[in-house]
Structure 1
Amino acid sequence: MSSLPAVDDICWLIGPETGELLDRLDSGAGSLVPAARQLQRYHSPERVRLLLEQHELRRKAIDKFPDAGRMFFLPRTLEQATDIHVARYKAKRFPAEERVADLCCGIGGDSIALAERGPITAVDRDQATILLAEANLRILAGARSRNRVHEFLAEDVLQLSVASYAAWHLDPDRRAGGRRTTQLACYVPGPETIERLLVERKEGAVKLAPATELPQSWQQEAELEWIGRDRQCRQQVAWFGTLARSPGLRRATVLRTRPHEPPLVATFAAEAGVRPGVADQVGRFVLEPDAAVLAAGLDGALAERHGLAALHPGVPYFTGDTRIDDSMLACFEVTDVLPFDRRRLRSLFRERGVGKLEIKTRGIEERPEAVRRDLRLRGDGSAVLLLARLGRRVTAIVARRVT
Structure 2
Amino acid sequence: MERSELEALLDPRVLAAIDDEARPETPADVLARSTALRRAGFAPEQAAAVLTQAALRRRARAKFGEFADRMLFTRAGLEQATRLDVAARHAARFRSSGARTVADLGCGIGGDALALAAVGLRVLAVERDEVTAVLAQYNLAPFPEAEVVVDDAERVGLGAADAAWIDPARRTPGHADTKRVGAADYSPSLDFADRVAARLPTGVKLSPAHDRSAIPDGAEAQWVSDRGEVVELVLWRGGLERDGVRRAALVTGPGGTAELTASEDAEDEPVGPLGEHVYEPDGAVIRARLIGDVARTTGTRPLGPGIAYLTGDDFSPSPFLTAFTVDAVLPFDARRIRTELRARGVGRLEIKKRGVDLDPAAFRRELALRGDEDAVLIVTRTADRRVALLCHR
TM-score, normalised relative to structure 2: 0.87
SS of match in other structure, 2:250: strand
Please state if 1:287 is matched with 2:295: no
- Residue 213 of structure 1 aligns with which residue? 211
Please state if 1:129 is matched with 2:132: yes
- Residue 184 of structure 2 aligns with which residue? 185
After superposition, residues 348-367 of structure 1 pair within 5 angstroms as 348-367=340-359
Q: Does the Cα contact within 8 Å between 1:284 and 1:319 map onto a contact in 2?
A: yes
Q: Does the Cα contact within 8 Å between 1:105 and 1:122 map onto a contact in 2?
A: yes
CA distance in 2, matches of 1:26, 1:155: 35
* Cα displacement (A) at 1:176: 3.3
1:100 aligned partner, one-letter code = V
- Residue 70 of structure 2 aligns with which residue? 70
- Structure 1 residues 287, 173: CA separation in 2 closer, same or farther (over 3 Å shift)? closer
Paired residue total:
381
CA distance in 2, matches of 1:215, 1:400: 37
Please state if 1:99 is matched with 2:101: yes
Please state if 1:240 is matched with 2:240: no
2:138 aligned partner, one-letter code = A
SS of match in other structure, 1:378: coil
* Cα displacement (A) at 1:180: 0.2
Q: Does the Cα contact within 8 Å between 1:221 and 1:240 map onto a contact in 2?
A: yes
* Cα displacement (A) at 1:128: 2.6
CA distance in 2, matches of 1:215, 1:338: 39
- Residue 116 of structure 1 aligns with which residue? 118
TM-score, normalised relative to structure 1: 0.85
2:197 aligned partner, one-letter code = L
CA distance in 2, matches of 1:15, 1:299: 53
CA distance in 2, matches of 1:176, 1:129: 12
Q: Does the Cα contact within 8 Å between 2:199 and 2:238 map onto a contact in 1?
A: no
CA distance in 2, matches of 1:388, 1:298: 20
State the identity %. Answer: 37
Moved more, 330-339 or 227-236: 330-339
- Give CA-to-partner distance per residue, 1:56-100, whole Å, 9 cap, x none: 322332322223232100122112111112111222211257222
- Structure 1 residues 125, 49: CA separation in 2 closer, same or farther (over 3 Å shift)? same
2:227 aligned partner, one-letter code = D
Moved more, 243-252 or 34-43: 34-43
After superposition, residues 381-400 of structure 1 pair within 5 angstroms as 381-400=373-392
- Structure 1 residues 130, 378: CA separation in 2 closer, same or farther (over 3 Å shift)? same
- Residue 275 of structure 1 aligns with which residue? 268
SS of match in other structure, 1:95: helix
- Residue 32 of structure 1 aligns with which residue? 30
Structure 2: gaps (5+ residues): none
SS of match in other structure, 1:397: strand
SS of match in other structure, 2:210: coil
Q: Does the Cα contact within 8 Å between 2:299 and 2:316 map onto a contact in 1?
A: no
SS of match in other structure, 1:65: helix
Moved more, 31-40 or 59-68: 31-40
* Cα displacement (A) at 1:348: 2.6
Q: CA RMSD in A?
A: 2.6
CA distance in 2, matches of 1:95, 1:71: 24
SS of match in other structure, 1:63: helix
* Cα displacement (A) at 1:393: 2.0
SS of match in other structure, 1:269: strand
Q: Does the Cα contact within 8 Å between 2:126 and 2:149 map onto a contact in 1?
A: yes
Q: Does the Cα contact within 8 Å between 1:219 and 1:248 map onto a contact in 2?
A: no
* Aligned with residue 361 of structure 2, among 369, 374, 383: 369
* Aligned with residue 252 of structure 1, among 245, 249, 254: 249
CA distance in 1, matches of 2:43, 2:220: 49
- Give CA-to-partner distance per residue, 1:97-121, whole Å, 9 cap, x none: 7222222111111111111212222
Moved more, 235-244 or 378-387: 378-387
SS of match in other structure, 2:335: helix
